[in-house]
Amino acid sequence: MKDERRASIRLFFALWPDAAARTALLEARDGAMQDARPTHPDDLHLTLVFIGDVELDRLGCIEAAADDVVLDGFELMLEQLETWPRQRLLVASPGEPPPALFNLLSQLQQNLLPCGIQPEPRSFRPHVTLARKAPKIQRRVLNIPWPAREFVLVRSGVGGGSNGGGYQVLRAWPLD
Ligand code: ATP
Ligand code: MG
């Protein structure tokens, strides 16, 4: 297949919740949601860097960018549940994100520059989208620990992961 390398895929780097954090997120959501469109349980994530559509031949450079990250694992705490009315999202987010989260983000952004991937101009608002088309709710307090021990490269737009989710985790890098 001569043109295979020109094929494009849609990618992003993210943190993926462990089973305990996922369960807690689903419980928090179920207590808050009416009439919204829930994120598939297997799709819950916190986006670090959205890459978007890239040609397949840039995958090696993108993986090398992740290989070069040097960072220990860290503790994230999701402390609030709220709606973002403009986007109509129900989201969980950390109150004050730990510096390590920004460190991870900036290392990835720096390392991706040689791949021709520029940082998003909009500011980073770490969050987990729990549902879309969500009616406005009062902000609630959460207490969901999320031990970040790895970050992952994800393909989106796959339309049906192994368990019905729309994302496919391509690879994980340990934080240690
Ligand atoms: P769809 O767009 O098909 O509804 P999706 O939004 O889940 O599906 P993507 O658009 O590929 O899938 O986005 C993947 C992740 O990256 C999501 O967490 C999304 O919020 C985030 N994202 C998408 N576009 C951007 C962007 N321009 N800047 C920052 N993050 C983005
Ligand atoms: Mg999108």
- In this predicted model, what pLDDT tens digit does every residue of 118-141 receive, in sequence order? 998 899 999 999 999 999 999 999
Asked if residue 51 belongs to a domain, the reply is yes
pLDDT at 111: 98
Asked if residue 7 belongs to a domain, the reply is no
Cβ of residue 156 lying under 6 Å from some atom of ligand 1: yes
DSSP string, 139-157: -EEEEEEEEE-EEEEEEE-
Secondary structure E strands in 5-148: 8-15, 37-38, 46-55, 74-84, 89-94, 128-132, 140-148
What CA–CA distance (Å, rounded) separates 6 from 55?
Answer: 6
The residue length of the chain stands at 176
User: What's the CA-to-centroid distance between 33 and ligand 2, angstroms?
Assistant: 21
> Averaged in consecutive runs of 10 residues, what is the pLDDT profile of the chain (176 residues)?
73 98 95 87 97 96 98 98 96 96 98 96 95 94 98 87 72 96
User: What's the CA-to-centroid distance between 18 and ligand 2, angstroms?
Assistant: 23
The strand pairing partners of 15, in sequence order, are 46
pLDDT at 3: 60
Q: What angle do CA 11, 170, 122 make, to 5 degrees?
A: 25
- With contact defined as beta carbons under 8 Å apart, do 105 and 124 qualify? yes
Cβ of residue 12 lying under 6 Å from some atom of ligand 1: yes
Report the chain's C-alpha Rg in angstroms.
16
- Domain interval for residue 133: 18-174
Domains held by the chain: number: 1
Domain containing residue 127: CATH number:
3.90.1140.10
**Interstrand relation of 74-84 and 140-148 (parallel, antiparallel or unpaired):** antiparallel
Asked if residue 108 belongs to a domain, the reply is yes
